[in-house]
């Protein structure tokens, strides 16, 4: 029945047991590719053309393989996405051990996460739709929990804290990328559409029903996203202290 772990077809029906699979068939035709190279190709596409451009056909084409060949390595596209997430999680640089200053460590982790998400702009969207725990992701979690040990909280609470920070980074970068993309397309559009947008906001504000929001929009020029990020991050970390 060909049940046990192997990259063979139908492998990894269980989403979790996927990670446990050794890449060793030992009999039969040797594979021409590997899960890692396939994943890397998928990541390259996503980086260059967005998550929507990651289709099984596109990935296969990059490898010079037939579309259906991918299914020898991966049970379905969903799994490929999980592999992508874990692969880029491997880029996270982890110090050998926590410094002892958990606040500094947490800041460091959050900055690293933000940098990762900016290198791979598809990551926030991919993450929010999925609940994944591959080895690389797990390594980051483990490091974070260790870094938080000096807070004296139990492991469960530390996991919550870390999730809180991660959630913050995800939503911040999502917003950040959304803004960048919006102003980018706004600059590129012929003017007609750009004006319509401006007029819409103008009309909204002129209505006088949203004075607060109008004020927020009218605020002086962009502060650097880094500065805002750091400030919000510090606020969050402060909040954690308050109770601990």
Partner DNA sequence: AGCTATTCTCGTACGCTGTACGGAAATCAT
Partner DNA sequence: ATGATTTCCGTACAGCGTACGAGAATAGCT
* Binding footprint of DNA on the chain (CB under 7 A): 2, 6-9, 25-33, 54-58, 65-69, 71-73, 76-78
Residue 99 near a second copy by CB under 8 A? no
Among residues 54 and 165, whose Cβ is nearest to DNA?
54
Among residues 15 and 31, whose Cβ is nearest to DNA?
31
- Interface residue with a second copy among 71, 108, 141, 150 (CB under 8 A) is 141
Residue 48 near a second copy by CB under 8 A? no
Residue 232's nearest CA partner among 150, 158, 145, 165 is 165
Min CB(125)–a second copy separation in Å: 6
Neighbours of 111 (CB within 10 A): 15
Residue 149's nearest CA partner among 200, 207, 105, 109 is 105
Let me know: does 141 contact 184? Beta carbons within 8 Å. Answer: no
Residue 230's nearest CA partner among 92, 107, 101 is 107
Min CB(122)–DNA separation in Å: 13
Min CB(32)–DNA separation in Å: 3
Among residues 29 and 188, whose Cβ is nearest to DNA?
29
DSSP string, 74-106: -SSHHHHHHHHHHHHHTT----SS--S-HHHHH
User: Which two tokens mark 23?
Assistant: 């890449």
Among residues 36 and 213, whose Cβ is nearest to a second copy?
213
Q: 31 touches which of a second copy, DNA, none (CB within 5 to 8 A by kind)?
A: DNA
Q: How far apart are CA 215 and CA 178, in angstroms?
A: 21
Residue 203 near a second copy by CB under 8 A? yes
Q: How far apart are CA 147 and CA 149, in angstroms?
A: 6
Residue 123's nearest CA partner among 72, 177, 164, 161 is 177
CA 165, 169, 171, 175 torsion-angle sign: positive
Q: 145 touches which of a second copy, DNA, none (CB within 5 to 8 A by kind)?
A: a second copy
Q: 71 touches which of DNA, a second copy, none (CB within 5 to 8 A by kind)?
A: DNA
Among residues 39 and 137, whose Cβ is nearest to a second copy?
137
Residue 87's nearest CA partner among 64, 118, 116 is 116
Q: Which residues bind a second copy (CB under 8 A)?
A: 13-14, 16-17, 19-20, 124-125, 128-129, 131, 138, 141-142, 145-146, 149, 154-156, 158-160, 163-164, 166-168, 170-172, 174-175, 178, 182, 193, 196-197, 199-201, 203-204, 209-213, 215-216, 218-219, 228, 231-232, 234-243
């Amino acid at each position: 029945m060909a049940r046990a772990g192997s990259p063979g077809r139908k492998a990894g029906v269980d989403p979790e047991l996927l990670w446990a699979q050794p890449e060793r068939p030992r009999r039969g035709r040797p594979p021409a590719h590997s899960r890692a190279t396939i994943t890397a190709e998928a990541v390259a596409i996503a980086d260059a053309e967005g998550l929507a451009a990651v289709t099984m056909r596109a990935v296969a084409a990059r490898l010079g393989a037939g579309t259906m060949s991918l299914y020898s390595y991966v049970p379905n596209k969903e799994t490929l996405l999980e592999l992508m997430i874990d692969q880029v999680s491997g880029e996270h640089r982890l110090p050998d051990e926590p410094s002892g200053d958990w606040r500094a460590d947490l800041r460091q982790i959050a900055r690293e996460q933000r940098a990762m998400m900016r290198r791979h702009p598809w990551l926030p969207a991919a993450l929010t739709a999925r609940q994944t725990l591959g080895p690389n992701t797990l390594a980051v979690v483990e490091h974070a929990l260790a870094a938080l040990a000096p807070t004296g909280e139990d492991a469960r609470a530390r996991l919550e804290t870390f999730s809180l920070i991660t959630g913050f980074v995800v939503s911040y970068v999502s917003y950040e990328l959304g803004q960048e993309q919006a102003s980018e397309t706004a600059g590129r559009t012929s003017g007609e559409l750009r004006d319509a947008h401006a007029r819409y906001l103008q009309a909204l504000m002129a209505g006088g029903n949203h004075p607060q929001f109008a004020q927020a929009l009218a605020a002086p020029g962009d502060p650097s996203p880094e500065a805002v990020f750091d400030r919000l991050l510090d606020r969050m970390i402060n909040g954690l202290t308050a109770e601990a």
